[in-house]
């Protein structure tokens, strides 16, 4: 049986905070990608961009699951 909504509140708040941080990381990676001009750095910036996007999407899905279970 799932924990009551009130008991899960800190967990949801932590996920929301992590999601906001991941969004900032993703946006920073997008900005860096738009500005990079050194061919030696392109691969590293693409890796960072993809990692930030995947982190954001993982946290987003996890948060959606928490909301679905509480509703």
Residue 1 pLDDT: 41
Alpha helices in 1-71 (DSSP H): 5-35, 39-70
Contact 41, 15 (CB under 8 A): no
Note the Cα 60 to chain centre separation in Å. Answer: 6
Domain that holds residue 42: 5-70
Residue 2 pLDDT: 55
Note the Cα 1 to chain centre separation in Å. Answer: 28
Residue 55 pLDDT: 98
Q: What is the pTM of this model?
A: 0.80
Domain count, the chain: 1
């Amino acid at each position: 049986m799932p924990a009551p909504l009130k008991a899960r509140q800190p967990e949801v708040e932590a996920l929301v905070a992590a999601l906001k941080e991941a969004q900032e990381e993703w946006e920073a990676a997008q900005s860096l990608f738009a500005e990079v001009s050194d061919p030696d750095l392109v691969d590293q910036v693409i890796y960072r961009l993809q990692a930030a996007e995947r982190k954001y999407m993982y946290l987003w899905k996890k948060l959606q699951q928490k909301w679905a279970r509480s509703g």
